Chains A and B, each alone.
Chain A
Amino acid sequence: MTLNRRTFIATGVATATMAAPMVRASGKPRVVVVGGGAGGATAARYIAKDSKGEIDVTLIEPSRQYYTCFFSNLYLGGFREMQSLGHSYGALASQGVNVVHDWAVGIDRDAKTVALAGGGSVSYDRLILSPGIDFIEGAVPGWSVASQNKMPHAYKAGSQTELLRAQIEAMPEGGTYVMVAPPNPYRCPPGPYERISMVAHTLKATNPTAKIIIVDPKDKFSKQALFEEGWGKHYSGMIERIGPDFGGDKVSVNADEMTVDVDGEVIKADVCNVIPAMKAGRICEMASITDGNWAPVSGHTMQSRIDENIHVLGDACAQGDMPKSGFSANSQAKVAAMAVRGALTGSKVFPAKFSNTCWSLIDSDDGIKVGATYEATDEKIAKVDGFISATGEDAALRKATYEESVGWYAGITADMFG
């Protein structure tokens, strides 16, 4: 038999050894997954696929179409259409995942039930939370979620990203784009800076005298040397960054006036992209499994340190040395899926392994990447080894790196959604 994807699934089902299921008084063990993004969709798919029907998997996700944040910056740069970033849940449903399009609005940890906005509740033996991020109220004075239609964050992809692109296209000649960058830790460390690159790419073609200002509370940022080299090379004179040494950490905004106040100095913006400080998706707070802004977990299993029946994945968890990325969430989901199966059906559990690679695009065919591998220690998810693109790499390598990211996008979205 030749090895292709179809047989890969089929034989996987047919030949795997069946582990002795835990004896239960009634029915199959139930897993409920909240959030159908990078972490949640992957976990639901792997548990359903690998348990071969022994576990009942329900995925709760309000949207029918998930728009990936990854590659949403490329949409701003004109490299991708929004439609190509949308993924539906049909294939997961046909692979045995019970998909419920609703919000989880409460968790009763004693009764082990999840309440749904549409009424009713679902009970679980294990609960997996992968709700992504929410913004910390008051993090940028003058900005609230109510201001997002004037000053978009575009840090959850979809209509926010479309709004930001429309605003960039409508900028007056020589106008000013301001980004208020977030403090650490936040979703996708290179994300804001890839976005700056993509906005510059668009403006260079349509509005070359426009200015881009980054107001940044951080001293340094991910892949900084690579981005700065690229900005100098492709967008010379267009981008200015105000770091904390010049008041980048003392910023407030006025959405009606479209102004940004940086330590007393007022900047008039034509587009103001505010990316506020972040915390775990609200449902984690509701479940009282957060400590500070994030949900602490054991790296061995991704189990909450507060409730062992709950696993927390992706951006919402305090993930040790791993950056908050879609790649990380996908990697953590596989560890959790294995641990959950082990606990519920007695299947074998192996030592957790994690990895991450984040590609960023600076300009056409100028891709860079950073990555690392990780392992679980009792204390945290700890880095093992890593690499980063070098400055001064030749054009062929940068082009290959970009092409690789396109391959990765196809790979991870197939891995998430089936």
Chain B
Amino acid sequence: MSGVAKYLSAVALSAAAFLSPALAAEETEALGDADNGAVIFRKCQSCHAVGPDAKNKVGPQLNEVFGRKAGAIEGFRYSDGLIREGNNGLVWDYEHLDAYLNNPKALVSDTRMNFRGLKDEQERHDVLAYLRQFSASPRDIPEAQPTAIPKEIELSDEILAIVGDPEYGEYLSSECTTCHQRDGGDEGIPSITQWATEDFVTAMHAYKEKIRPHPVMQMMAGRLTDEEIAALAAYFAALED
């Protein structure tokens, strides 16, 4: 176990004294193996730098990333969506970094981070343990809960396999167009035309599970069932044929 992970476990243990025993067990899991994380991070290095004198490259530098508002490094050219999520309140805490590493597009559909994601949960935890060493006192990671089980948006095959009813999707889609401009304009509110189906389904589930921060979308997606999201996707997909 790396130094960081041990340190975190120790803090967690002292906090755990105030928690119920069941919770305590969960809270003291190791965050991840930072040494292994350093090795995995090589995959990221062509675009991201971290450590002393790290500069922005194709992607922003990652010092102090924990607790940083999304899209906030001045002078770095982010996608519109990333800036918007930052304004919506997306902060890079553990949970969101984990979700982003798992599938960047689940959080930000138009992200320039062209990376399909680290699907192995342990690998993600290891990379985050490594990166966390370069964020001194992360504001949004309560020190007492370094291992709070992160939520993530990993759609099961069953969800992806649901065949939606396009007619129902057409009705449901009429709710979207009260705000989203039909001609694809994206002034103030993102465009919802020309979406790939899987991105769409992933984004809706990310709102539903409150991984993406926008309150209106969390509410709208929150009441859609898996079948209804599939119906919307089917409707949009039918338009593409």
Give Cα distance in the complex from A369 to B216, angstroms. 9
Q: How far is the CA of A385 from the CA of B193 in the complex (A)?
A: 27
- Please tell me if the beta carbons of A407 and B186 are within 8 angstroms of each other in the complex: yes
Distance of A40 from chain B, by nearest CB (Å): 15
Whether B189 pairs with A7 at a CB distance below 8 angstroms is no
A-B contact count (CB 8 A): 125
Pairwise interchain contact B187-A371, C-beta atoms closer than 8 A: no
Q: Mark A397-414, 1 if CB is under 8 A from B, else 0.
A: 101100111111011101
CB–CB A373/B220 < 8 A: yes
Which residues on A sit within 8 Å (CB–CB) of B240?
Answer: 1-3
Contact present for B194 and A2 (CB under 8 Å): yes
Interface residues of B in 168-219 (CB under 8 A from A): 168, 170-172, 174-175, 177-189, 193-195, 215-216, 218-219
Is the Cβ of A4 less than 8 Å from the Cβ of B184?
yes
Contact B171 A397, beta carbon cutoff 8 Å: no
| CA–CA, A411 and B176, complex, Å | 9
- Please, how many residues of chain B have a CB less than 8 angstroms from a CB on the other chain? 40
Known A4-B184, A385-B223, A410-B181; contact A334-B175, beta-carbon cutoff 8 A: yes
Which residues of chain B come closer than 8 Å to A415, judged between CB atoms? Answer: 177-178, 182
A2 → B minimal CB distance (Å): 6
- Asked whether, in the complex, the Cβ of B188 is within 8 Å of the Cβ of A414, the reply is no
The reply to whether A17 and B193 form a contact with Cβ atoms under 8 Å apart is no
**A46 pairs with B174, CB closer than 8 A:** yes
Q: Taking the nearest CB of chain A, how far is it from the CB of B19, in angstroms?
A: 28
* Complex CA distance for A4 and B194, rounded to whole angstroms: 6
- Bound CA span A313–B88, Å: 32
Contacts of A411 in B (CB 8 A): 177-182, 189
- The reply to whether B89 and A11 form a contact with Cβ atoms under 8 Å apart is no
Instruction: Please give the distance in Å from A154's CB to the nearest CB on chain B.
Output: 25
B241 within 8 A of A: yes
**Does B94 sit within 8 A of A, measured CB to CB?**
no
Is B130 part of the contact surface with A, judged by Cβ < 8 Å? no
Asked if A385 contacts B219 (CB within 8 A), the reply is yes
Give CA–CA (A348, B89) in the complex, Å: 39
- Assess whether B187 is in contact with A403, with CB atoms less than 8 Å apart: yes
In the bound complex, how far is the Cα of B171 from the Cα of A334, in angstroms? 8
**Cβ A17 vs Cβ B175 within 8 A:** no
The chain A residue with its CB closest to the CB of B187 is A407
Give the chain B neighbours of A7 by CB distance below 8 A: 239
Does A78 have its Cβ within 8 Å of any Cβ on chain B?
Answer: no
Cα(A398)–Cα(B177), bound, Å:
23
In the complex, what distance in Å separates the CA atom of A366 from the CA atom of B178? 22
| B178 touching A330, Cβ below 8 Å | yes
B186 to chain A: closest residue by CB: A407
Verify if B61 is at the interface (C-beta below 8 Å from A).
no
The residue of chain A having its C-beta at the shortest distance from the C-beta of B218 within the complex is A387
Residues in B neighbouring A412, C-beta threshold 8 A:
178-179
In the complex, which residues of chain B have a beta carbon less than 8 angstroms from the beta carbon of A348? 167-168
A142 within 8 A of B: no
B174 close to A11 (CB less than 8 A): no
Q: Which residues of A contact B (CB under 8 A)?
A: 1-5, 7-8, 11-12, 15-17, 46, 50, 327, 330-331, 334, 338, 347-348, 350, 353, 355, 357, 369, 371-373, 384-387, 396-397, 399-400, 403-408, 410-412, 414-415
Where the two chains meet, the residues of B that have a C-beta atom closer than 8 Å to any C-beta of A are 84, 86-89, 167-168, 170-172, 174-175, 177-189, 193-195, 215-216, 218-220, 222-223, 236, 238-241
12 more CB-based (< 8 A) A-B contacts, given A3-B239, A396-B86, A411-B177: A4-B193, A12-B170, A46-B174, A331-B175, A331-B178, A371-B219, A372-B219, A373-B220, A373-B222, A397-B88, A411-B181, A414-B177
